[in-house]
Amino acid sequence: MSNLDKIMKPKSIAVVGASTKEHTIGSDIMKRLQEYKFKGNIYPINPKGGIIEGLQAYTSVLEVPDEIDLAIIVVNAKFVLSTIDQCHEKGIKGLCVITAGFKETGKEGAELEKQLLEKVQSYGMRCVGPNCLGVVNTLPEISMDGCFAESLPERGHIGFVSQSGALGGGILNILKDLNLGFAQFISIGNQADVNAETAMEYWENEDDVQQILLYMESIQNPANFRKLASRISKKKPILALKAGRSAAGASAASSHTGSLAGADKAANALLSQSGVIREYSLKNLFATAKVFANCPIPKGDRVAIITNSGGPGIMATDAVCEYGMQMAKISDETKEKLRSFLPSAASVKNPIDMIASAPIEHYKQTLETVIADENVDMIMVIYLPFLGLKDIDVAKAVMEIKAQYPHKPVIGVFMTKSEFFTALSDMKVNMPFFMYAEEAADGFNRLNQQRLWIERPEGTIMKYDVDYDKAKSIIAKSINEGRDQLTTRESIDVLDAYGIRVCKSGFATTEDQAVSIADSIGYPVVMKMTSKTTSHKTDVGGVRVNIQSAEQLRAEYQDLISKLEAKGLLEGLEGVIIQEMVKGSREMVCGIATDPQYGPMMMFGLGGVFIEVMKDVTFRIAPLTDMDAKDMIKSVKAYKLLQGARGTTPAQMDQIEETLLRLSQLVSDFKFIDELDINPLLISEKTGEGIAVDGRIKVRMSESQEALGYHCENGVCACSY
């Protein structure tokens, strides 16, 4: 039941709550439908009947003699359910409930909305809203403005979903100034039925919708959103403005991963994994939309800059390079052609500086020459007002050339008066124009981002052979003892069961056992306490490194015990772990934190003592694909350290990727794992392996008990797997 044709492409509309009273929603909806020249039939519905906006009004949809596709409902909330019953009796399948007074008002409204949804689903209807602005389709054969914004919509090829009605209305009012237009607009309001995912799926194969814009305050079903957006964003750009960037609640976490996580990082990870281009302001959202509306996807990231002033050309070059794109290498043939008509003072290197005296003809000839160069993928044309040259004339000349060569993106940077941009809003443009080079570079970056996403393989969720039963029994032991936090030893053993490279180690409860294990591993070694009550070992002196001999180990062991006794921490002590001393200066971190809405999030980045200071970490939503794991590793600044900076051994990237993928499998198999840290994941100077030197796992107790079949009988409680 995903098709929205009855709502978005209706042949007839009933406005239930149509009114003759000025400046009411019922009146404005009628006026907008007529002013925008809706191509189908409009039926005003009002209990008093009569004539509304020149049309015969009916007291009920049941009185209308013809078929009705869409009912736009603007009656009081208490009459909405009975109105839906009448719509069902009439055979209406599309609803747009503009009426407010539902879950946004509290408990009673939420119950009313629940009943609304139940009716819609049982009747086989689709419903936009409630508490929304309405719907728009600018396709000439439809011409439906079914909302109550002040301005009529501008025609374009954008599908826009807004969770905020007021914001959507404001945007409809300024479309002309933005030089943008919508193909379709859906104000989802409370999204009882139709939400952003519904709209995206509907627009996936709509040729009239060439890019999708989302304003969202929440993502109802992250897993479904990811599945749909990952597929659709390969066909057309999806731009999102996700509001609500609070990280509230993250401070309550006990792990490094948890404390650095937050709702917005989860949303950001989801959007990134789904190929959605995230913007953080309306200004940037519509600047990027303007670029996609007027530019094809480039074949590469090589940018050429044409300017009539050296300074802005240099600043533009800086902006391009800061985004990691390339300055195009202009071919000798192109340079020769440029020299044939540009003055000797001009520079034909990239950026191409035509100098201040450049006439319109030079703009045209230079663009025509550069756009034909196979070494160039995108072109920035910079104009500064000199020698009486008119900005609008230059823009027209550049657009004339662009029209002849539509296959490459061209963006204009016109550092001129604001009147120029006002004049553009009255023109049909075929390329975007900005005031500053940084905006154009940002636009190129977004085009390139979309190109890379389209070219990126879909990725595979890997499945490794692991010792699931061993991991399960270790976790069950902790649950049976009433502990939601596994000890260090238990955590490392779980990681080992899942094939994650851990240090060679042994567990000791006495000094002599510790020495025996160290002798078998070989010195130097590390000694770590493992406790059922103390999780942060370094804070209490529970980690001793670079122990070179049995004598030193005995001394460190005795010192540890005496210090723990002095602090009253001996009771929870299980013993000590003796580990091989892995040499390496590069400490990474990987882990898992659970977001209540988005589920398990994977983290990777710079670890050790710097983790919460530098915060050079990245997040992705589990399950990870192999491509997600690659992206995570490459997206942190510490990636250069892994590559082998300053003569260090390059890290085994494939092995680190596999570590992340095995962690993803672990949290998929044990969904009740709440937090997990491997900190540090030490990069061996000898082999380049990522080795889990320390581990910590925490579970959600009630969930884990249920999953592992925990039950009590005769006062004895245990997992019954």
Q: Are 401 and 367 in contact (CB under 8 A)?
A: yes
What confidence category does residue 410 fall into, taking pLDDT thresholds of 50, 70 and 90?
A: very high
Q: What are phi and psi of 619, to 5 degrees?
A: -125, 150
Q: How does DSSP assign 451-467, residue by residue? A: HHHHHS-----------
pLDDT tens digits, one per residue of 352-396:
999 999 999 999 999 999 999 999 999 999 999 988 899 999 999
Q: How does DSSP assign 53-120, residue by residue? A: TTEE-BSSGGG-SS--SEEEE-S-GGGHHHHHHHHHHHT--EEEE----SGGG-HHHHHHHHHHHHHH
pLDDT tens digits, one per residue of 435-489:
999 999 999 999 999 999 999 999 999 999 999 999 999 999 999 999 999 998 8
**Taking residues 66-80, what's their average pLDDT?**
98
Cα–Cα distances (Å) from 448 to 289, 292, 429, in that order, read 14, 11, 22
With CA atoms as reference, report the closest residue to 493 among 509, 476, 474.
474
CATH class of the domain defined by 504-580 = alpha beta
CA pair distance 429, 170, nearest whole angstrom: 23
User: Percentage of the chain with pLDDT > 90?
Assistant: 83
With CA atoms as reference, report the closest residue to 597 among 248, 133, 148, 174.
248
Q: What is the pLDDT of residue 540?
A: 79
For residue 686, what are the contacts with CB-CB under 8 A and spacing of at least 6?
A: 583, 649
pLDDT at 57 over 60: yes
Q: What is the pLDDT of residue 263?
A: 73
Q: What is the CATH number of domain 5-217?
A: 3.40.50.720
Chain centroid to Cα 360, Å, comes to 42
Q: How does DSSP assign 273-307, residue by residue? A: HTT-EEESSHHHHHHHHHHHHH-PPPSSSEEEEEE
Beta strands in 369-504 (DSSP E): 378-383, 410-414, 433-434
**Taking residues 621-628, what's their average pLDDT?**
97
**Three-state secondary structure call for residue 515:** helix
pLDDT at 250 over 80: no
pLDDT tens digits, one per residue of 333-358:
999 999 999 999 999 999 999 999 99
pLDDT at 261 over 70: no
Fold match between 5-217 and 296-455? yes
**Three-state secondary structure call for residue 364:** helix
- Residue whose entry in the numeric block shows the structure tokens 């990474």: 588
Q: What is the pLDDT of residue 254?
A: 53
pLDDT tens digits, one per residue of 94-141:
999 999 999 999 999 999 999 999 999 999 999 999 999 999 999 999
Burial class (CB in 10 A: 0-12, 13-18, 19+), 372: middle
Cα–Cα distances (Å) from 510 to 122, 370, 424, 531, 577, in that order, read 68, 77, 81, 14, 11
- Residue whose entry in the numeric block shows the structure tokens 């100077």: 685
Show me where the domains of the chain are located. 5-217, 296-455, 504-580
Paired residues of 383 in beta bridges: 414
pLDDT at 256 over 70: no
For domain 296-455, the CATH superfamily is: Succinyl-CoA synthetase domains (3.40.50.261)
For residue 110, what are the contacts with CB-CB under 8 A and spacing of at least 6?
A: 102, 103
With CA atoms as reference, report the closest residue to 602 among 196, 279, 272, 224.
272
pLDDT at 499 over 60: yes
